Structure 1
Amino acid sequence: MSELVQKHPSGGYILEELHPGMYAEKEVLVTEDRIGQFAEASDDFNPVHVDEAFAAKTAYRGRIAHGLLSASFGSAVVGTILPGAGAIYLTQTLAFHKPVRIGDVVLARISVASVDETSARVVLKCEGYVGDDLIMDGEATVRVPRRRRPAKD
């Protein structure tokens, strides 16, 4: 059973609160500024991302966003919504299916696939969509806290 969840009031879900079927989503508009900032942060200035004249001559017929920019929207869901604060990435696989362009709205959807209580690890299904089109998917394994830290007085 699927259950859309919002950010936990504490900032993050603990291991015992997670179960398969939980999912969270975030929509992000891809802009010229985001692509430029990602190029600066990653030092990836591939002209297919930053040079329209170059990109127009490629199979994509214009600029496309960095694949990892779109993937980072899923990372934002993992770090801030599901599981949220305290989750630590251990592994991530990704497959990219369609390009993302300036003006596209990417929907990042993260779903709990399985929970391993012994190792405090959670396997997450990661998907990205533009409209109805699946643009990327993969799987992440994250470590999740077992309990919350007590509030400081």
Structure 2
Amino acid sequence: MIEPHPSGGYILDELVVGMTAEKLVTVTEQRIDQFAEASDDFNPVHMDEAFASRTAYRGRIAHGLLSASFGSAVVGTILPGAGAIYLGQTLNFHRPVRIGDVASARVTVATIDHAAARVVLRCEVYVGGDLVMDGDATVRVPRRRRVQKDL
């Protein structure tokens, strides 16, 4: 596992296939409420315990895209980090995530296209040892760091 780069982000030439970063996030009722507010997705399976208890999930579950956003947090803050721009993402959801779960978002460099300054990142989210979401993100990565000028 790698740590965030001291500059805030890795540049293209610093990336190597197989580099992996991880972030742990606890799913709370507050996170679900905030995500619903931000996304305008108030599906009662996420918001209403009485409704959700009568579904196949037998209780409230987190939004799938909330779980996916944990992978986005790794991409934007650790690997590659600051300056990375999402170009695309595939997502597969395997299991629900619930209030109180600790999600482990893991991102691994799968391929590097030096000519296009793009990388494909394998994104996975686990709860315990169970895979709950996976997919591939295509990301543009800076070729060099911006020079900070003193004002």
Shift of 1:152: 1.3
| Structure 2 unaligned spans of 5+ | none
C-alpha distance after superposition, 1:46-67 (max 9, x if no partner): 0000000000000000000000
Q: Report sequence identity in percent.
A: 77
Quick one: which of 89, 94, 101 aligns to 1:92?
89
Matches within 5 A, 1:21-32: 21-32=18-29
Match of 2:46 in 1: 49
How far is the alpha carbon of 1:151 from its aligned partner? 2.1
Structure 1 segments, 4+ long, off by >3 Å, are none
- Alignment partner of 2:8 out of 11, 20, 30: 11
Deviations along 1:72-119, one digit per CA (max 9) or x if unpaired, are 000000000000000000010000000000000000000000110000
Look up the SS of the partner of 1:148 in the other structure.
coil
- C-alpha distance in structure 2 between counterparts of 1:40 and 1:53, whole Å: 20
CA distance in 1, matches of 2:101, 2:33: 15
One-letter amino acid of the structure 2 residue matched with residue 54 of structure 1:
F
The CA RMSD over aligned residues, in Å, is 0.4
State the TM-score, normalized to the length of structure 2.
0.99
Q: What is the identity, as a one-letter code, of the residue corresponding to 2:95?
A: K
Query: Structure 1: any 5+ residue segments left out of the alignment?
Result: none
The answer to whether the aligner puts 1:60 opposite 2:57 as a matched pair is: yes
- Counterpart secondary structure, 1:28: strand
Give per-residue Cα distances to partners, 1:2-59, cap 9 Å, x unaligned. xx11000000000000010101000000000000000000000000000000000000
Alpha-carbon distance in 1 for matches of 2:18, 2:134: 17
- Give 1:129's match in structure 2, choosing from 117, 126, 130: 126
Aligned partner of 1:106 in structure 2 is 103
What is the distance in 2 between the residues matched to 1:17 and 1:32?
Answer: 38
